[in-house]
Structures are given as structure tokens and as C-alpha cells.
């Protein structure tokens, strides 16, 4: 014959086990990363959270906490006008390096070289620019002779964070998708047509800011590290190369030696052409 108290005893034991167990929760940053990876809308996340939290209490954070985490992803010192949107390059680099180092805090903390005095790292960053054209939108612009049908953008992508130890480079973080827009960070938007003069003007402006960049000091739990940004102008197409090169203004002509399409099959002629060392 079963005991009439067995049910209440089992409930009390289950309650004690659940109360003594470690509460597992997902941080707001992890939940935000999940939303971006899965391309979830706000409504989809709320439905998933409601179902999951019924099984495991408070496993997923509220969407309000995710919005707070999202705000921390935005850099400071931004300037927006009717025709341009610009983020100060030093502020953008500082923010990118700080967020990246915080996400790799456990990896950096486990590296013996950092605790032995070597605390200088470098972040390889590729950058470039491109123009796009679309139909003019029904948006009134106060400036005369200015339209929103042409957009010129400048952006950067972090590629690799590495520790410099003597002549060796230890990779701390590697961009898993360097050609994806996931890690792309816009520097400047400009409603202007992509012309040779505009390309040179915009690129010169960014290069001047790059020359003035300072290394970024990041404070972690038990130590500080110094990260130096290294920029590489590689996100460019043939039109950008031709505009920045003094050899030729045509996108069909080689911007290094100036060879035309009709001369490409003549190696002896190409070998005689002078090379642009700055290209």
C-alpha cells in the first residue's frame, strides 16, 4: 500500500533540488549576438524567450536589457548633417578595440606572455570606399544642387588581433568572416557622386586621421594592454585604384604600369613600362 505522504515528500525534494541548483542565465550580450546570428526580429525573440523561460526560469534576458546592450555597441563622437554622417576615426577605433578585447578577456587573461611583461598588441584593419547609385527618394533636401541618388561610403573591417612577441605574432582573435558585413564598421557616408576628385579628397581625409591615431590602452581585470591599430587600404575596386593612381584615369588601364587592354598580351612591352611604386 502506497504512503499518502509520498507525493508531498517528492514535491518538497524536487523544490529543494531546484532551489539548491545553480541558476543558469544568458547575458544580454550573448542574447544580442544570438539575435544577430539568427536574424531574429524583436517579436520572434520575445516569443522564443517566453517559451524558453517557461522551461528554465529567467534563462533569456528581457528585450529591454538587450536594447541596453545594443546601445553599448554604438561609438561616440558622431556628426550627422543633411548630406553626411561621420564618426570620428579615433573614437571608432577606441570603441572597436575596447569591445573586442572585452569579448576576448578570457583568452587574453590565459596568455602567459601578457602577465610576463609583454603587453603590446596590434589590430589589423582593412578599409576602403565605394560609391553606389539609386533612384532619388522623395525627400526634400534644403541644399541646392544636392540629391540623395548617389551615396559614397567609407568603412573599415577588423581582421586580426595579435600579440607581438619578439619576431613572432600570436593570433588572439581572427575575423571568422572577413568578407561579410557582420564586422563592417562605417566611418563616413556622403550623398555625393563618386568622382575622381571626391575619391581623392575623401581618402586623403581618412589617411590624415590614420596618421594621427594613437594606440588604445585597455584595462582588463588584472592588467592593462596597449593595442596599436594598423590600417590597410584594400577594400577598393578598379575605379578607386585608377583615381588614386597617377598612371591613368581609366579603370580598364593597369594602375601600376599603365598598360592598356590592347597591350596586355605583349609581355616585352609591359616589362618596359615604368611602375608606380606608390600604387
For the stretch 142-185, pLDDT in tens is 665 666 678 899 999 999 999 877 677 888 999 998 988 888 99
Closest CA to 160 of 98, 112, 75, 230: 230
Give the chain's largest Cα–Cα span.
104
Q: Which residue has the cell 602567459?
A: 112
Question: For the chain, which residues score pLDDT lower than 50?
Answer: 1
Amino acid 61: pLDDT? 92
Sequence-distant (≥ 6) Cβ neighbours of residue 39 within 8 angstroms = none
Note the pLDDT of residue 216. 92
Q: What integer pLDDT is reported at residue 247 of this predicted model?
A: 63
CB 203 within 8 A of CB 188: no
Query: Do 99 and 220 form a contact (C-beta atoms < 8 A)?
Result: no
Closest to 129 in 3D by CA, of 231, 278, 23: 231
Number of Cβ within a 10 Å radius of residue 66: 21
Q: How many CB atoms lie within 10 A of CB 94?
A: 21
Cell (9 digits) for 159: 581582421
Model confidence pLDDT, tens digit, residues 110-119: 876 665 666 7
Q: Report pLDDT for 13.
A: 56
Contacting residues for 267 by C-beta, under 8 A, at least 6 apart? none
DSSP state of 252: T
Q: How far does Cα 107 stand from its chain's mean position? A: 20
Helix%, strand%, coil% for the chain, nearest 5: 40, 25, 40
DSSP label at 176?
S
Separation CA 87–CA 92 (nearest Å): 7
Amino acid at each position: 500500500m502506497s504512503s499518502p505522504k509520498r507525493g508531498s515528500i517528492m514535491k518538497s525534494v524536487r523544490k529543494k533540488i531546484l532551489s539548491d541548483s545553480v541558476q543558469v542565465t544568458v547575458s544580454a550580450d550573448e542574447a544580442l549576438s544570438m539575435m544577430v546570428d539568427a536574424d531574429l526580429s524583436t517579436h520572434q525573440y520575445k516569443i522564443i524567450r517566453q517559451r524558453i523561460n517557461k522551461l528554465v526560469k529567467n534563462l533569456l534576458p528581457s528585450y529591454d536589457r538587450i536594447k541596453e546592450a545594443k546601445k553599448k555597441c554604438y561609438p561616440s563622437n558622431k556628426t550627422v548633417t543633411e548630406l553626411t554622417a561621420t564618426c570620428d576615426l579615433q573614437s571608432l577605433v577606441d570603441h572597436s578595440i575596447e569591445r573586442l578585447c572585452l569579448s576576448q578577456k578570457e583568452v587574453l587573461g590565459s596568455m602567459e606572455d601578457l602577465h610576463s611583461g609583454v603587453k603590446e598588441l596590434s589590430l589589423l584593419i582593412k578599409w576602403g570606399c565605394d560609391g553606389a547609385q539609386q533612384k532619388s527618394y522623395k525627400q526634400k533636401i534644403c541644399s541646392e544642387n544636392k540629391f540623395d541618388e548617389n551615396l559614397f561610403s567609407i568603412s573599415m573591417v577588423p581582421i586580426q588581433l595579435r600579440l607581438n612577441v619578439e619576431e613572432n605574432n600570436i593570433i588572439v582573435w581572427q575575423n571568422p568572416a572577413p568578407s561579410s558585413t557582420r564586422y563592417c564598421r562605417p566611418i563616413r557616408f556622403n550623398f555625393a557622386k563618386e568622382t575622381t576628385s571626391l575619391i581623392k579628397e575623401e581618402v586623403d581625409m581618412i589617411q590624415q586621421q590614420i596618421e594621427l591615431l594613437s594606440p588604445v590602452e585597455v584595462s582588463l581585470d588584472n592588467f592593462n594592454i596597449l593595442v596599436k591599430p594598423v590600417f590597410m587600404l584594400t577594400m577598393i575596386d578598379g575605379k578607386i585604384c585608377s583615381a588614386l593612381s597617377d598612371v591613368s584615369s581609366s579603370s580598364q588601364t593597369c594602375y601600376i604600369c599603365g598598360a592598356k587592354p590592347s597591350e596586355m598580351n605583349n609581355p616585352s612591352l609591359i616589362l618596359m613600362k615604368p611602375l608606380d611604386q606608390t600604387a
